[in-house]
Amino acid sequence: MTKAMMMLAASAALVCGAGTAAAQSRGSQEDIAPGGFGNDVVAARRSTPAGEGPAVFGKCAVDADRAGATALLDAKIGSGESKNAAKKLADKKTNCGAMIGRDRSEEIVRGAIARQLYTETYAAAPAPLTSEPAPFQGSGDPSLVQYDLASCAVTRDPVAADALVRAAEGSAEERTAFPAVVAAVGRCTPNGAKIGFSKAQLRAGVAEGLWAYRKGMAAR
């Protein structure tokens, strides 16, 4: 286990309940219950009005200011720069911000933009892995455990991650892609750790992780 993953293990117990509870209070559409990422998927769907949601927001934000949207993803998640930029983009007084829906958190804003940039830039899925992936180097920041695990999952099954990112929310394609992505997260989770994700959090983290993964592959 890498040093970064050891840090994830040490912080996992402190974080496991926070993500799910926070997501429920924000009105998430579906929660993935903490508990090792087995088959415990709790459906708690709520309808999203037509013309709203992260996908609609992401397209609007990227079309309106692609450079600014890209700059947000270049800023470190959790930093003041990232939080301020995300808050500005998701301001409900703006045309795009009015579209995002209930959850205007930094991670959802970044994930929506990452999804739009990714699907515009890459027409096809990445190649399947043909060998054991390299050890994942996380951020080492206990507050970014969920983000790190989602990014790690991309490196374990980039094809499943691609399918999830391209799938429309609530679609049959999304329901098909989720189990493989959840399994990939499980391969990144230290033994005994219990990490809670909402569906929206996992989608957002995977979208940003996949965007970074493909850019990294292209740079090699």
For the stretch 128-153, pLDDT in tens is 999 999 899 889 899 999 999 999 99
Beta bridge partners of 42: 31
- How is the beta sheet containing 30-32 ordered, strand by strand? 41-43, 30-32, 197-198
pLDDT higher than 90, residue 8: no
The pLDDT score that the predictor gives to residue 220 is 57
pLDDT higher than 80, residue 202: yes
CB 107, CB 203: distance < 8 Å: no
Q: What is the 8-class DSSP label of residue 93?
A: T
Name the residue with higher pLDDT: 48 or 113: 113
Residue entry with tokens 């989770």: 189
Q: What are the helix (H) ranges across 41-132?
A: 54-64, 66-74, 80-89, 106-121
pLDDT higher than 50, residue 27: no
Name the residue with higher pLDDT: 107 or 22: 107
pLDDT higher than 60, residue 188: yes
pLDDT higher than 80, residue 168: yes
**Residue 199: which pLDDT band, with cuts at 50, 70 and 90?**
very high
- State the Cα–Cα distance between residues 174 and 166, nearest whole angstrom: 8
As a whole number, mean pLDDT of residues 184-210 equals 91
